[in-house]
Amino acid sequence: MESFDALLSGIALATQPINLLYALIGVTLGTAVGVLPGIGPALTVALLLPVTFKLDPAGSLIMFAGIYYGGMYGGSTSSILLNTPGESASMITALEGNKMARAGRGGPALATAAIGSFVAGSIATALLAFVAPAIVEVALSFGPADYFALMVLAFTTVSSAFGGSMLRGLTALFIGLCLGLVGIDLQTGQARLAYGVPDLLDGVEVTTAAVGMFALGETLFVASQLSRSQETIEAVRGSVWMTAKDWSRSWKPWLRGTALGFPIGALPAGGAEIPTFLSYSMEKQLSKHPEEFGHGAIEGVAGPEAANNASAAGTIVPLLTLGLPTTATAAMMLAGFQQYGLNPGPLLFTTNPDLVWGLIASLFVANTMLLVLNLPLIGVWVRMLSIPRPWLYGGILVFATLGTLGANPSQFELSMLAGLGFLGFLMRYFDYPVAPVIIGLILGPLAEQQLRRALAISQGDPAALVETGLSIGIYVICALVLLGPLAMRALRRKKAGSDIRPAFED
Amino acid sequence: MTSQDEGKSRARPDKAVLVIAVVLVGIAALVAWDAAHLSARVSTYSRVGAAAFPYTVAGALAILSLVTAIAAFRGTFPERAPLEIGPLGWVAGGLFLQIAILPFVGFSIATGLMFALVARGFGGKPLWASIPAGIVLSFVLYVLFSKGLQLSLPQGPLERLI
Amino acid sequence: MGVLTRFATGFLVAAAMAAPALAQELTIIAPAGPGGGWDQTARSLQTALQTEGLAKNVQVVNVPGAGGTIGLAQFVSQHKGNPNTLIVGGYVMVGAIATNASPVTLDQVTPVARLTGEYEAIVVPTSSPIKTIGDLVAQLKADPGTVSWGGGSAGGTDHITVGLIAKAAGVDPTKINYIPFSGGGEALAAIVGGKVTAGISGWGEFEQQVKAGKLRVIAVSAPERIAGIDAPTLKESGLDVEVQNWRGVWAAPGLTDEQKAGLIALVEKVNASKSWTDTLATKGWANTFLAGDAFGTVLKDEIAKTNVVLKDIGLIK
C-alpha cells in the first residue's frame, strides 16, 4: 500500500489552505472561460499559463488541475443550457442535455452531468493512482491497425444518433465525412477540397462546425417557425433537483461511461470524443426508454459526461508515466511542468513523488470543489433560460461568435460559422439529424489516417489490419454490436409467438 | 412511412427534396473531381492513397442522392411547416451584417448590431434600445478578453479607445 | 458568472501590470493559434520587451492557419512599411510556403533575427536490433520500404530531414517510407511502442524517453556533438546533413534602413536581456541567435536547399 500512503501525503499537500485557494481560483477561472464555445480546457490552460508563473510548482499544478476540470464543467454547462458545445467532447451532452433543458429539466441535466463527472473523475483518478503503469503498457501496444479497428467500432454504433430515418442519418454522416476531407491530407501533404483557398488548408474546425450547426442552426430554425412553435422555454418544470427516478436512471450510465472513458482516454490516440459516442449509443441500446432519446433522455447526458471526464483523467496516464502528451490539454500541462524544469515521464514518479501525488490528489480536490460549487449554482444557471427569448437567442449568438473569434479572429472563420449554421438550419428544416455530421467530421479523418498509416507501415499488406489480438478482439465486438440486437429481436419474437408482426416494419 | 404522411395530399414529386438530391449529387461530383486532380507524387507504401476516401464518399453521396430522389417521388419526407421569412430574415441579416462590417467597425459594434437584429427577429425591444445594449455587452466581453486573456479580437474605433 | 469573470480579470490584470512605461508600441503577429510554439515565442518576446522596459505596449495577435502562410500573407498585405510590427515564424514555414504554393514568401519580409533552434534526433526503441545510424542506413540502402520513419506532418522539418538523409546515403528519396503523425505524443507512442522502425523529431520530444531507457538515440542533425546527448552527428557518420528547426522574427516589407536597424537593435537587446535568457532556460530552447543580414543570407540558402529536397521527395513539382 505504498501508493496509498503516498496518495494520503499528496492529499495532505493539496488540502493545505493556500493550495485549496489555488484550486478554488483554478476551478473558477476554468469554469468562467470554459463556458465559451470554441474555447475548451486546452486553450484555457494555455491562456492562463502565465498566471501561474509566479506560484510554486505545487500550487501551480494544483491550479492547472482546477482549470482543467473547471473548463470541462463549463463546457458541459453551456452545452446543456445554450446548445453551444464548449468543446467537441461535450457535443453529445448537448444532444440530450439541451432537449432536457428546454423541457424544464435543465436542473436534473446539469446535476447528472456534475455528479456523473464527479463520480467518473474520482474513479478514474483512483485508477490513475493505482493502475497507471499497467494501463500504459496496454496503451502502448495499440498500433495504427488497432486504432483503425476502434474507429470501425465507433462507426458501427453511429446509427444511434440517426433519429428516425436511415436515409437522412446516413446522408448527414456522409456530409460530415465530406467536411472532414477538406484540408491538407496528413499522409501526402496535398490539399483536398480546398480549391485554392488558403483558409481551408487546415480543414474545418470541429468546434466551429459544432457551434454553427447546433447553436446557429437551432436559432435560425426557431426563428423560422417563430409564431407556430409553441415551444416556450421553461426554466424549471418539476424539481430543479434529480428525482429518485433520475438517480436510478443515472448511476449505471455513470459507471459505464467511466469504464469506456478511462481506458480509451489513456490510449495515445484515443481522445475524448470516441468514448462519448460509444457511451451514447450504449446507453441508447441498454435504455428501457429508447424512445426518449432525441427528446431529452437523462441517460444520454449521464453516460457521455462521465465518459468525457474519465477520459480526461485517462489522458494523464500517458502524460505522467511516459511524458506523452496525447491531447492538446495534456500538452499544455506538460508545458506547465516544464516551466519549472520538471519533465513528466517514467522518472518523475521517483524524482518528484510528492509532486506527482500532489497533482493526483489535487485532481480529487478540484473535482470535489467543482461539485460543491456547482450543485448550489444549478438553480442560478437554469434561471438563465428564463431570460426573454429575444435576449436569450441574441446572447447565444454573441457567445457563439465570441468563442469562434477568440480562437481565430478572422472574417473567414466567422463566415464558416454562419455557413455551417445555415446548413444546420436547412438540415433541421428537412428533418435531418445534425449530430452525425459532427461525428463524421471527427471520426472520418481519424479512421482514414490510421488505416493508411497501418497500410504504409506494412508496405501495403492488408493482412496487417487483423494481425494483432487487439484488433481482432475489437472486430468481434463490432460484430456483436451489429448482430446482437438482431439476435435479441429474433429471440424475443420466438418467445412472443407468431401473432406479433416482424419488428423491422416500423 | 407514418400515417400522418399518408393522409396528406402533397404535390409529388416533392420539389424541395428533389433539389436536395441534386445538391447531393453536385457535392459528390465536386468531391470526385477534386480527387481526380490529386496528383500524389510523394510516394507512400499504402495502397489506399489520398484519393481513395474522397472517391468512397463521393460514391456514397451519389447513391444517397438517388435514394433521396426516389423519396421525393414517393413523398416520404415528413411534412414541413412553411418558413416565416420575417424573423428568419432578421436573424440571418444580423449574422451577415456582423461578418460584413467586422473588419471595419471592430468586434463590439459588429456583434452589438448582430445582437440587436437577432433580438428584433425574436420580437424583441425596439432597435434603439437593443443596439446600445448589444454594443455595451459586446464591448464588456471585448475588454474581458483583451485584458483578461490577452486574446486579440478584431479592433475598431471603440476598441482603440482603451 | 459576472462575479467569477470579474474576479478572473482582476487577478489577471494584476498579474500583467508589472510593465514600466517606454517609447515604442509594438504588435507581434503569431501566425498560429494560441498555445503553440510560435505563439509561445511571440508571447515570450512580448514578456521580455515589457519587463525589460524596451517597449511600452506590446500586443500579440494570433493569425492561425496553413503552416503560418495565412499570417504571413496578411502581414505582408496589411503592414507594408509599418515599423511597429513583427512576425514570428520558423523553419516549418519554409516548407509550408513551398508545399502550399503560397503566393507570399519569406523573400517579401525583412529578416530581423533567428532566435532559437533545436536539432533533430533520430531514435529507435531500445529493443531494436538497430544499434547505430550505420545499421539504419544499411537497412535503408538494402530496402528503403522496410524502414518506416515516424515523425511530424508531411513536408515538415522531420520529413525534410529524412529526405536529406536518404539523398546523402545515395537512396532514392521518393522511396522513403515516411509515416506522418499529427501530434508529438502520438508519434512518440508509436515509436516507443515499436510500431515504426525509427523516429525523428526535435531532441526535446525524445529526451525523457532516452533518459528512461525506452529509446536509443542514434544520431543528431547538429554540426557538432551536443553536450549531454550520447550520439554522433549525421556528419561524422558520413551523411552530409545538418538541420536546425529554428524560430525567428521578421519585420514588415518596405522599411527604411534606419527603421530596420532600429528593430534589429531592439531584438539584440532582448537577446542580451536576463528575462529572455531565463525564458529560454525554463522552456528548454537553445539560443541560436543570428541577426539581420547574416540571418537573411543563411535563410536564402536554406530556402533553396529545402525546395530542392521537397522536389526530390515528391512533395512539390
Tell me the ipTM for this assembly. Answer: 0.90
Confidence (pLDDT) at C197: 94
How far is the C-alpha of A407 from the C-alpha of A44, rounded, in Å?
Answer: 11
C-alpha cell at A146: 488497432
Question: What angle in degrees, to the nearest 10, is found between the helix axes of A41-48 and A328-338?
Answer: 20
Confidence (pLDDT) at B5: 44
Q: What's domain C16-117+246-313's architecture? A: 3-Layer(aba) Sandwich (3.40)
What is the secondary structure of chain B as a DSSP string?
--HHHHHS---SS-HHHHHHHHHHHHHHHHHHHHHHT----S--S-SS-TTHHHHHHHHHHHHHHHHHHHHHHHT-SPP-PPP-HHHHHHHHHHHHHHHHHHHHHHHHHHHHHHHHHHHHHTT-S-HHHHHHHHHHHHHHHHHIIIIII---PPP-HHHHT-
CA-based nearest distance A180→chain C, Å: 15
Contact C144/A at CB under 8 A: no
How far is the C-alpha of A481 from the C-alpha of A489, rounded, in Å?
Answer: 13
Confidence (pLDDT) at B7: 39
Considering only residues A162 and A394, tell me which one the structure prediction assigns the higher pLDDT.
A394
CB contact under 8 A, C9 and B144: yes
A28 CB neighbours in chain B (<8 A) are none
Contact C78/B at CB under 8 A: no
Confidence (pLDDT) at A105: 86
C59, C99, C153, best to mutate vs chain B, most B CBs in 10 Å: C59
How far is the C-alpha of A144 from the C-alpha of A456, rounded, in Å?
Answer: 10
Mean pLDDT taken over chain A: 81
What average pLDDT does range A250-270 have in this prediction? Answer: 86
Contact A470/C at CB under 8 A: no
How far is the C-alpha of A18 from the C-alpha of A24, rounded, in Å?
Answer: 10
Confidence (pLDDT) at C296: 87
Tell me, yes or no, whether B107 and B134 share the same domain: yes
Nearest to C174 among B43, B150, B152 (CB): B43
Considering only residues A106 and A135, tell me which one the structure prediction assigns the higher pLDDT.
A106
From first to last of its 317 residues, what are the pLDDT tens digits of chain C? 344 444 444 444 443 333 333 457 888 888 887 666 788 888 888 888 888 877 777 888 878 777 888 888 888 888 888 888 889 988 888 888 888 888 888 888 888 888 888 889 999 999 999 999 999 999 999 999 899 999 888 888 899 999 999 999 999 888 899 998 876 567 888 888 888 999 998 887 788 788 888 899 999 998 888 888 889 999 999 899 988 888 889 888 888 888 888 888 888 888 888 888 888 877 777 888 888 888 888 888 888 888 888 888 888 77
Position C227: which residue type?
A: A
B118 CB neighbours in chain A (<8 A) are 219, 390, 393-394, 397
Confidence (pLDDT) at A373: 82
C-alpha cell at A381: 444557471
DSSP 8-state secondary structure symbol assigned to residue A326: -
Do residues A259 and A210 make contact, with C-beta atoms less than 8 angstroms apart?
no
Residues sharing a CB contact under 8 Å with residue A197, sequence separation 6 or more, in sequence order: none
CA-based nearest distance C196→chain A, Å: 7
Confidence (pLDDT) at B82: 87
The answer to whether residue A311 is domain-embedded is yes
How far is the C-alpha of A465 from the C-alpha of A456, rounded, in Å?
Answer: 11
CB contact under 8 A, A139 and C189: yes
**Strands (DSSP E) along C57-137, which ranges?**
57-62, 85-90, 110-125
A142 CB neighbours in chain C (<8 A) are 189, 193
Which residue intervals of A83-105 are DSSP H helices?
A: 91-102
Residue in A167, A161, A169, A428 with CA at minimum distance from that of residue B72: A167
Number of folded domains that form chain A: 1
Q: Which B-chain residues 19-38 have CB contacts (< 8 A) with chain A? A: 20, 24, 27, 30-31, 34-35, 38
Contact B49/A at CB under 8 A: yes
A415 CB neighbours in chain B (<8 A) are 99
Nearest to C62 among B44, B147, B152 (CB): B152
What average pLDDT does range B117-129 have in this prediction? Answer: 85
Domains C16-117+246-313 and C118-220 share a fold: yes
Confidence (pLDDT) at A23: 85
Contact B46/C at CB under 8 A: no
Tell me, yes or no, whether B61 and B15 share the same domain: yes
Confidence class for position A230, pLDDT limits 50, 70, 90: low
Tell me, yes or no, whether B154 and B91 share the same domain: yes
Contact C41/A at CB under 8 A: no
The answer to whether the peptide bond before residue B13 is cis (omega within 30 degrees of 0) is yes
A410 CB neighbours in chain C (<8 A) are 63, 65
Least confident of A57-66, A108-117, B71-80: A57-66
Number of folded domains that form chain B: 2
C-alpha cell at A6: 503516498
Do residues A53 and A354 make contact, with C-beta atoms less than 8 angstroms apart?
no
Contact B37/C at CB under 8 A: no
Q: Does the pLDDT value for residue A484 go beyond 80? A: no
Q: Please give the residue range of the domain that contains residue A353.
A: 2-494
Which of residues B74, B93, B120 is at a domain's end?
A: B74
Backbone region of residue B123 per phi and psi (left: phi > 0; alpha: psi in -120 to 50; beta: other values): left
Considering only residues C180 and B4, tell me which one the structure prediction assigns the higher pLDDT.
C180
Q: Does the pLDDT value for residue A419 go beyond 80? A: yes
Backbone region of residue A386 per phi and psi (left: phi > 0; alpha: psi in -120 to 50; beta: other values): alpha
The answer to whether residue B7 is domain-embedded is yes
Contact C19/A at CB under 8 A: no
Confidence class for position A376, pLDDT limits 50, 70, 90: confident
Q: Does the pLDDT value for residue A41 go beyond 80? A: no
Confidence (pLDDT) at C127: 92
Confidence (pLDDT) at B32: 94
Considering only residues A198 and A334, tell me which one the structure prediction assigns the higher pLDDT.
A198
CA-based nearest distance C230→chain B, Å: 32
Q: Please give the residue range of the domain that contains residue B93.
A: 85-160
B37 CB neighbours in chain C (<8 A) are none
Confidence class for position A85, pLDDT limits 50, 70, 90: confident
Confidence (pLDDT) at A500: 42
CA-based nearest distance A386→chain B, Å: 14
The DSSP element (H or E) to which C65 belongs, if any, is none
CB contact under 8 A, B54 and A181: yes
B40 CB neighbours in chain A (<8 A) are 188, 190
Contact B99/A at CB under 8 A: yes
Nearest to C314 among B41, B150, B152 (CB): B41
Contact C154/B at CB under 8 A: yes
CB contact under 8 A, A32 and C196: no
Residues sharing a CB contact under 8 Å with residue A59, sequence separation 6 or more, in sequence order: A18, A19, A22, A52
Considering only residues C144 and A481, tell me which one the structure prediction assigns the higher pLDDT.
C144
CB contact under 8 A, C182 and A346: no
The answer to whether residue A83 is domain-embedded is yes
Mean pLDDT: which of A193-207, B43-57, C166-180 is highest?
C166-180
Q: Does the pLDDT value for residue B9 go beyond 70? A: no
- Reduced to 3 states, what is the DSSP secondary structure of residue C123? strand
Q: Nearest residue of B to residue A228 by CA position? A: B81
Tell me, yes or no, whether B97 and B68 share the same domain: no
Contact C183/A at CB under 8 A: yes
The answer to whether residue A146 is domain-embedded is yes
How far is the C-alpha of C49 from the C-alpha of C24, rounded, in Å?
Answer: 10
DSSP 8-state secondary structure symbol assigned to residue A133: H
Residues facing C250 on adjacent strands:
C87, C111
Residues facing C148 on adjacent strands:
C177
The answer to whether residue A505 is domain-embedded is no
Confidence (pLDDT) at A499: 45
Domain C118-220 classification at class level: alpha beta
Q: Nearest residue of A to residue C145 by CA position? A: A459
The pair phi, psi for residue C170, each rounded to 5°, is 80, 25
Contact A322/C at CB under 8 A: yes
CA-based nearest distance C113→chain A, Å: 24
Q: Does the pLDDT value for residue A56 go beyond 80? A: no
Look at strands C148-151 and C198-202 and give their pairing: parallel
What average pLDDT does range A447-467 have in this prediction? Answer: 88
Q: In a 10 Å sphere around its CB, with 0-12 CB exposed, 13-18 middle and 19+ buried, how is residue B28 labelled?
A: buried
CB contact under 8 A, C176 and B43: yes
Least confident of A363-377, A476-490, C12-26, C89-103: C12-26
Residues sharing a CB contact under 8 Å with residue A402, sequence separation 6 or more, in sequence order: A36, B111, B138, B141, B145, B153
In three-state form (DSSP H/G/I as H, E/B as E, the rest C), the secondary structure along C220-246 is ECCCCCCCCCCCCECCCCCCCCCCEEE
The answer to whether residue B79 is domain-embedded is no
Q: Does the pLDDT value for residue A407 go beyond 80? A: no
Touching subunits of A (3+ CB pairs, under 8 Å) are B, C
Domain boundaries, chain C: 16-117+246-313, 118-220
Touching subunits of C (3+ CB pairs, under 8 Å) are A, B
Q: Does the pLDDT value for residue A282 go beyond 60? A: yes
What average pLDDT does range A183-188 have in this prediction? Answer: 84
Confidence class for position B59, pLDDT limits 50, 70, 90: very high
CB contact under 8 A, B151 and C314: no
The answer to whether residue A471 is domain-embedded is yes
- Measure Cα distances from A162 to A155, A291, A422, C113 in Å: 12, 13, 20, 54
Do residues C34 and C61 make contact, with C-beta atoms less than 8 angstroms apart?
no
A398, A446, A458, best to mutate vs chain B, most B CBs in 10 Å: A398
The answer to whether residue B80 is domain-embedded is no
Q: Does the pLDDT value for residue A102 go beyond 80? A: yes
How far is the C-alpha of A407 from the C-alpha of C298, rounded, in Å?
Answer: 34
Size of interface A-B (CB pairs under 8 A): 198
Nearest to B152 among C61, C315, C317 (CB): C61
Tell me, yes or no, whether B38 and B98 share the same domain: no
Residue in A153, A37, A44, A151 with CA at minimum distance from that of residue A88: A37
Round to the nearest angstrom and report the end-to-end CA distance of chain B.
60
Confidence class for position B28, pLDDT limits 50, 70, 90: very high
User: pLDDT tens digit string along B61-112?
Assistant: 999 999 999 999 988 888 888 888 989 999 999 999 999 999 899 999 999 9
The pair phi, psi for residue A248, each rounded to 5°, is -70, -25
B20 CB neighbours in chain A (<8 A) are 430
How far is the C-alpha of C308 from the C-alpha of C141, rounded, in Å?
Answer: 21
The answer to whether residue A504 is domain-embedded is no
Confidence class for position A343, pLDDT limits 50, 70, 90: low
Q: Nearest residue of A to residue C193 by CA position? A: A140
Residues facing C111 on adjacent strands:
C250
Dihedral angle over CA of A75, A77, A80, A83, nearest 10: -50
How far is the C-alpha of A478 from the C-alpha of A470, rounded, in Å?
Answer: 12
CA-based nearest distance A497→chain C, Å: 53
- The C-alpha cell 468546434 sits at A207
- The C-alpha cell 418539476 sits at A238
CB contact under 8 A, B42 and C174: yes
The DSSP element (H or E) to which C278 belongs, if any, is helix C274-283
Nearest to C5 among B43, B144, B150 (CB): B144
Backbone region of residue B13 per phi and psi (left: phi > 0; alpha: psi in -120 to 50; beta: other values): beta
Confidence (pLDDT) at A501: 43
CA-based nearest distance A182→chain B, Å: 10
Nearest to C65 among A189, A202, A343 (CB): A202
How far is the C-alpha of B50 from the C-alpha of B71, rounded, in Å?
Answer: 33
